[in-house]
Amino acid sequence: MSTITAATPTDDVHAYPQDTGPVTFDSSTQPKKDIKKPVPPDGKLESRLTTKDLEALQEAFNFKGDSYERLCLNRDQFVQALSIILNKGTDEEYEELFDKIDISKEGSVSWDQLAQHMLLQFYERDDKVKSTQLPQWRDIRMIPAPHKDVIQRVDFLRSSHKYVTVSREGTISLMSTDLEVSRTVRTSSDACKQRDLWVTDFVLLQNVSKVAVGFTSKEIAFYDISSKSDFSCQYRVQDLDASPICLDYWYNPDNANESVLCWGDIKGRINALFFLSAAINLFERQSSPTEDKQETTLIVKLKDIKRGKFKNSNKFISHEAHTDWARQVKYISSLECFISCATTWDDSLVIGWIEKRTTVSNQVMSVKRLDETDTRKVQRISAFQVHQGINAFDYHEGLNLIATAGANNHVCLWNPYVMSKPSGVLTGHVAPVIQVLFNLTRSQVYSFSKDKVLRIWDVQLQVCMQRLAGIFPKGPEAFTKKLYTARQPSMQTRVYMQEDRNRLFLTFNNSLSLIEMKAEVKDRVLSHDRSVTSVIFSWQLNQLLTACQGSNLSFWLIDTGQRLRQTPNAHGDAEITTLANDPAESRFYSGGTDGIVRIWDWNGHMYHELDCNRPGVSAEISQILVLKHSVIACGFSKDITVFRTNSFRDIRIKPGEWRELDQHRDDILAAAYCAPHYLITASYDGMIAVWNISSEVCTRQMRQRCSTMRRQASSSAGSGERRRSARSDRQQQQDMDSGFTISRLRVLANRKAKAKQAANLVSCGANGIVRFWNLHQGCLVAEFLAHKQASSIIMDSSPQSDYLATADGNGCLKVWHIAEYCTGKQDQSVQRQNGDDDGLIIEPPSLETEWQAHPDQINDLEFAERQDRLLILTASSDCSVSLWDILGNLIGIFGQEEHWKIEHLSVILERLEREKEDHEVLEAEPQKVQQVSQSNWQPDERAIADPNGYRVTAWNSSLLGSSYIEAAKQKRQRRQPEVMPNLPFLTQDRHTPSIGPFNNLDIASFAEARDPKPPDFVSNPDAYFRDRDHLPPAGEKTPVLAETLKAAFDDRSLFPKYILDYESQMKKYQNFATNTKEKDKGEISAKGSQPSAPGTASHGRSDLRSKKK
C-alpha cells in the first residue's frame, strides 16, 4: 500500500490595522503614553510591519528643508520615532531592532540601513516559506523506453529540449518534452566485440550539443546530437589508464570555450581534461591532402594529450583519490576542486584542491595563458571518513554544503572546509541511501534509499518533511553502481530532478518512471481542509453533502453555495471514503476506513452503526448501495456484505448472511441496482456478476479478459518488445490483471436493452476505458478509450441517461452524449471489430465538451438539475468542490465568499443568442469594408485641375474617417450647453467696464421714499392694550351654538336606511306603550268606586298587565 506522510511546519499569520498616514517626528518631543497593543506570539517585529508602515518610516526619515536630506537617528530617537509612527510593539522590541540594524556599532541608523535590513528579512522569509512548502505529487507514470538493459543515467539537453537516456548495452534514446521517443541509436566500438562492450556512464556537453559516453573498453566517445541526421561519433579518446565508471562536465557560462571533462575510473583515480576552445573544436584535426578522404571519427590517444599535441586540450590532471571504484565525481568551479566519493572507510569523500591562478596583467595573461594553465595541478587532498562509505553526493553552491548518501543509512551535510564532523546528520532511512539531490529553488534535499523510499528534507530545519513509499515498482532492492550477479538479483536505480518542469525521473533497471509535482495554486478556494473524497445531492432538499479525509461532513445549499452546517469527526480519526443516499432521501450513509457504515438524517443526527469488520480483518469501504430492504457494502471482501433493514433495532448492527458465496475471485469494488430485482457487482479482476435479490443467487457472469485495445497495442509492438524475460512476463500479467479493475457501475434505467447491440450497463476503471454491457444478453457491446494515459477513471450518468461524465486523476472532465449510443439503432457505418468479439463497437460516442476542472485528481462526481439546467458536481483532492454545467462553465466553488445564483435556462439561451448576433454583426463589418475597398476608384477632378490648391479632408475622403463618422452617428448624442446669441456684453468695447450680464439691464433712478403709515395699534394703543378692569360690562348673552348652527345634512342622508327604519319602529312602539298606559290609568280611576270581588277576571287582567309592565 502506498503511503505519503508529511509533517509541515506552520507559521501563524496575524493581521493588524494599518496607519492612516505619515507622522512627523521631532527629536525634542517626548513619546505619548499610548496603550500598547498586545504583542502576538509570532515574535518578530519585522514580520508585523506593512507597506504603509514602511512608507511612513521612509517619509519620517526624509527631512525636507532647504535641501533634501535623510536623518540619522540614535538609539533613543529611533525608539521614540517608532513608538509614535508604528505603535505596534514595545520599547524593548524597538531597541532590539536598532541593535540588529546597527551591526557596526556606529550609534546611529539611517533609512538605507533600515531598508537593507528589511529586504534581508523578506528574502529570508521567502526562502523559509519555499523550503517549508510540501510538494504535491501526481500518480507515478511508467514511461515506455526502448532499452533492454540497465539505464545508466537520465539528463535533459536544453538546446534541443530533449531528454537523453543511455542504457548499458549502448542504446542512446532521445525523448521530447511530451515523453515520446523521437530518435534512437546503438553505439559500438572497434576495440572489442559488441557483446563484450558495456556503457558505464555518459554526460551531456550542453554548450556544444554533444554527449560523452564512457565504455568498458577504456575509451570515451563524443557523439554529436545536434544534427537532424543520424548520430555521428566525432572523437574517441582511447588508451585510458582504466575503464571510466563515472563522468562529469562543466563549462563556463560567460565563456563557452572554457570547459572541463572529468571522470573517475575503477582504480579510484580522478582524471580531468581542460578544453580551451570547446565551442570551436574539442580536438583539432591534423591537415591532410585534399585527395585523401578525411575520417569522420578522430582517434585521440591519451598519451598525445599528455604530451601537448592538441592545443585546444593541452591540460590533463590526474590524482589518486580512492582505493576502490569512484562512484561519482564532480568539478566545482567556485571552489576550484574535484569532489569524488567511494564506498570505502578512509577516503569516503575526497576533495582535490587545484592550485589557484596567479594574478597577472591581461597582456601577460594573454601571452602566457597556455604555460600558466599547464603548471596547475592538484595541490592538496581533503579526505572525509564515513562509516561504510558513500554511494553518491550533491553540492549546493549557494549554501556551500555537500550532501552525501551514506551506506550507513544516513544523509550527512558537510562543509567543504571542515573534515572532522558533518554540519548536520539526517536520520530516518532504514536502508542504505543510494541517491541524494538538492532542490535549489526550495532549499530541500531529496534522498532515495535501497528499500525504495523517497524522503524530502528541509536543509535549515534538518527534519524530514515528506516520505514516499510503496508507489514504486516492486522487485529486488535497488543500488546505484554495481554489476549484475546471477546469485543475487538486484535493481539499479538512478534519480534525476528537473526543477524547471517539476519532474522527478527514477530508473529501475531498464524501466523509466516519472513523478510530476503538482502546480502550486495560489489564492485557491478550499471547501475542506483535507482532500474531498465523496459528494451526494438531495433532490428534495436541494442540499449538497460532502466528506473529506479529515472525517468532516459539510452541508451546502446548491442554489447559493452557502454552508449550512458541519459535522466534525463523523468517523473519529478514520477517513470517510464514500457516501450514499437512500431512495426516499430521508437518510444518508457514510462509510470509512474503520469499516463502519453510519446512518444519519439530514439534520446531522446519527441513528445506527453497521459494523463490516471481521475478526482480525479491518474493512475499508469503497461503496455503499442502499436497496429497499437491505444495505450492501463493498470494497473489502470477495463476498457480498448485506445488512437487513428489519434488524435495525440496536445502535450497532452486525451483517447478515448472503445465500450464495464464492462467486468473485477478488474483492468486490462496485455495485449497482437494476429494477426490479437485479443486483450487479464488479470485482478487482474485472468480473461482473448479476444477482437475483429475491433468491440471492448469481444468475449471470460477464467477463472481458481480452480487450480489443490491448490486442491492437500488442500487435503494433515490434519484435524486440515481444522478447521478454520470465520476470517481465509476470510483471506484464500483473499489469493486465490490474488493467481490468472496475471502479464504477452505472445502470441506464431508461433503456430497455432487448436487442443484442443495445446496452443498459456502463462500467469504467483502469486504463481510462469505458465499457457498455447488455444485462439481458450478458455480453459486452462496446468499449472505447475515454482518457489517454490515465491509470484510473470515474464516471456518472445523467438522470435521463443521455449524458455520461468521466474524470481522471489529472483533473480532466469529459462529457459524452450517449442518448443514441449502443441503443441497437446504429447504422452499419459504425466502426466495429469483427472476429472474436462478435462485432464489438469501438467507436466512442460524440464528445460534447472537455475541460480541466481541477488541478488535482477528481475523486467523485454527480449530476444535478436546477432551473432546467443539467449541472455536474465534482469533488477533488485539491480540497475543493465545484459546480459546473455540462458546457464546462464554472458556476462556483463551494466555500467562496461570494454566493451565486443559478440562472434559468431561458436566460442563458437569450444571452447566447445575443452574443451570436453580435458576433455576426462583427463578422459582417469587415466584409463591408472589403467591398468598399474593391470598388472602382477615380481621382477627383479638382485635384487634377488645381493640384496645389486642392486639399483633402480625411473625415470625408477616407474609409477610416467615414467609418468613424457612421459609428459616431449611431452613438447616443450628448446634450451640449446652449449658447446665448446677440448679447451686447459679449461684443462691448474694451473701454466699457466689464460688470457682467447685469450691465445690460435698464435700471432707472429710484423714486423718493415716503414715510410709511403707522399701524392702528400704534395710533390707538388704548384700544388694544387696556387692562381688563376698565372693560365695559358684558352685553347680551351670546346665543347658543346649537340654535344658530344649521345642519349641513338631514337625518335621511346622514344615516343608513336600516337605522332609520329601526328608529321609526321604536317610536311607534313607544307611542303605543304610552297610549296604553294612559288608557289603563283612566279605567282604574273610573272603576275605583265599584270594588270588585277578589278573583274576578278584571282583577286578574290588571294583575297580569301590571306584571307585563
Report how far residue 872's alpha carbon sits from residue 866's, in angstroms, rounded to the nearest whole number: 11
Orientation of helix 111-132 relative to helix 91-101, angle to 10°: 90
Over residues 509-521, the mean pLDDT reads 83
Q: How many residues does the chain have?
A: 1109
Q: How confident is the model over 236-264, as pLDDT tens digits?
A: 999 899 999 999 999 998 888 899 999 99
Return the CATH number of 21-132, one of 1.10.260, 3.30.70, 3.30.160, 1.10.238.
Answer: 1.10.238
**CA quadruple 435, 441, 442, 446: dihedral, nearest 10:** -10
Q: How confident is the model over 1023-1054, as pLDDT tens digits?
A: 777 665 555 555 555 565 556 555 555 666 66
Q: Residue 959 is which amino acid?
A: L
Q: Which range has the worst mean pLDDT, 49-53, 177-181, 857-861?
A: 49-53
In this predicted structure, the answer to whether residue 482 has a pLDDT above a threshold of 70 is: no
Given a contact cutoff of 8 angstroms between Cβ atoms, the answer to whether 95 and 89 are in contact is no
Segments making up each domain of the chain, as ranges? 21-132
Q: How confident is the model over 427-479, as pLDDT tens digits?
A: 999 999 999 999 888 888 999 999 889 999 988 888 888 888 878 877 666 65
User: By three-state DSSP, how is residue 965 classified?
Assistant: helix
pLDDT at residue 716 in the model: 41
Given a contact cutoff of 8 angstroms between Cβ atoms, the answer to whether 748 and 797 are in contact is yes
Q: Residue 738: which pLDDT band, with cuts at 50, 70 and 90?
A: low
Residue 1035 has φ and ψ, to the nearest 5°, of -85, -135
Whether the model pTM is above 0.85: no
**Nearest residue to 146 (alpha-carbon basis) of 124, 125, 128, 164:** 164
> Which has more confidence, 590 or 90?
590
User: What single string gives the DSSP state of each residue in 274-337?
Assistant: EES-TTT-SSPPPP--TTSPPPSSEEEEHHHHHTT--GGG-EEEEEE--SS---EEEEETTTTE
Report how far residue 221's alpha carbon sits from residue 300's, in angstroms, rounded to the nearest whole number: 10
Q: Residue 550: which pLDDT band, with cuts at 50, 70 and 90?
A: confident
Q: How confident is the model over 592-616, as pLDDT tens digits?
A: 988 899 999 998 899 999 998 887 6
Give percent above pLDDT 90 in the chain: 28
Residue whose C-alpha cell reads 557560462 in the numeric block: 253
Query: Exposure of 309 by Cβ count < 10 A (0-12 exposed, 13-18 middle, 19+ buried)?
Result: middle
CA angle 27, 29, 31 (to 5 degrees): 105
C-beta neighbour count of 138 within 10 angstroms = 18
Q: How confident is the model over 4-19, as pLDDT tens digits?
A: 555 443 333 333 333 3
